[in-house]
Amino acid sequence: MKKLKRKIDVLVLSDVHLGTYGCRAKELLHYLEHINPKVIVLNGDIIDIWQFNKRYWPKSHMKVIKHLLGWISKGKKVYYITGNHDEMLRKFDGFRIGSFRIVNKLVLELENGTKAWIFHGDVFDVTMKHSKWLVKLGAIGYDSLIIINSVANFFSEKLFKRGKISLSKRIKNSVKSALKFINDFEQISADIGIMNSYDYVICGHIHQPVIKTISNNDGSIMYLNSGDWIENLTSLEYVNGQWSIYKFSDEELLNMVVTNTEEPDDLSDGKLFDKLLEEFKLLKS
């Protein structure tokens, strides 16, 4: 008997970074296959165009794209909000095909007339504005650190019988605080949200999943961040008027059935784009 999929009113995903070694595409696909959202918001950095390499595009990454395209072909509303790693899509702001739209920001009306202001968040990133080359270099280093972390976790768990460690999270947090990588990110976004009388402000970018109320002298707002699918494996779910953070659990990882165990370099340059074109035909069905 086929298991019923969990119904979700609004799903918010960000910072998936398809096309990089750190992306947890198989876990994400498992999650997507077990939910039934009405509205899907892809809040930036879904495909990592900065680090995209024709020689690395595993089938699991393609399957995530195919699953999203399947939702679009069924008429589900899918909003792709551009981020910094997929910033080249910003020139297509307003593009629409069927139920799919590309936007740079989104105001989503929810139940009881409440409004959620959704954007990726790199607009508040000081280093993004003034030192983009430095951020890109850091992104490459971060992806390399993810690979090193995977090796470190293998030895930590298999040989030393210890839990997982997160080198990237420790270094990332210390560097970001030392260089003030994010300049009062949450407070700035909340302040603007309050000024515009929104009920929620939803971001990604900083890979820190959270739901909290932020206040200033003019009022308060609920700030939400969807986290990422590299380390935290999180998303935001809106069900029956309530927001919550979904986190892919260790139990789900153990129960996850992976039918294909292909290696990353199974698609040549030509086959990659042929396959992409083939998947996009789903939009016409």
Per-residue HEC secondary structure of 11-66 comes to EEECCCCECCCCCCHHHHHHHHCCEEEEEEEEECCCECCCCCECCECCHHHHHHHH
Whether 75 contacts 98, CB under 8 Å: yes
Q: What is the pLDDT of residue 102?
A: 95
* Tens-level pLDDT at each residue, the chain (285 residues): 567 899 999 999 999 999 888 889 999 999 999 999 999 999 998 988 766 666 778 899 999 999 999 999 999 999 999 988 788 888 899 999 999 999 999 999 998 889 999 999 887 765 444 444 444 444 445 555 555 665 555 565 556 555 555 555 555 555 545 344 454 778 888 999 999 999 999 999 888 899 999 999 999 999 999 999 988 999 999 999 999 999 998 777 766 754 444 444 444 444 554 555 555 554 544
Amino acid at the residue 97: I
The CATH homologous superfamily for domain 8-125+182-284 is Metallo-dependent phosphatases (3.60.21.10)
Q: What is the pLDDT of residue 83?
A: 87
Q: What is the pLDDT of residue 257?
A: 53
The residue ranges of DSSP E strands in 77-131, in sequence order, are 77-81, 96-97, 100-103, 106-109, 115-118
Whether 201 contacts 224, CB under 8 Å: yes
Ramachandran area for residue 167 (φ above 0: left; ψ -120 to 50: alpha; else beta): alpha
The full set of domain ranges for the chain reads 8-125+182-284
pTM: predicted TM-score of the whole model, two decimal places: 0.76
Q: What is the pLDDT of residue 268?
A: 46
Q: What is the pLDDT of residue 278?
A: 59
Q: What is the pLDDT of residue 53?
A: 67
Q: What are phi and psi of 170, to 5 degrees?
A: -65, -50
Closest by CA to 138, choosing from 91, 178, 103, 165, is 178
- What residues does 215 pair with on adjacent strands? 220
CA-based torsion, 51, 52, 55, 58: positive or negative = positive
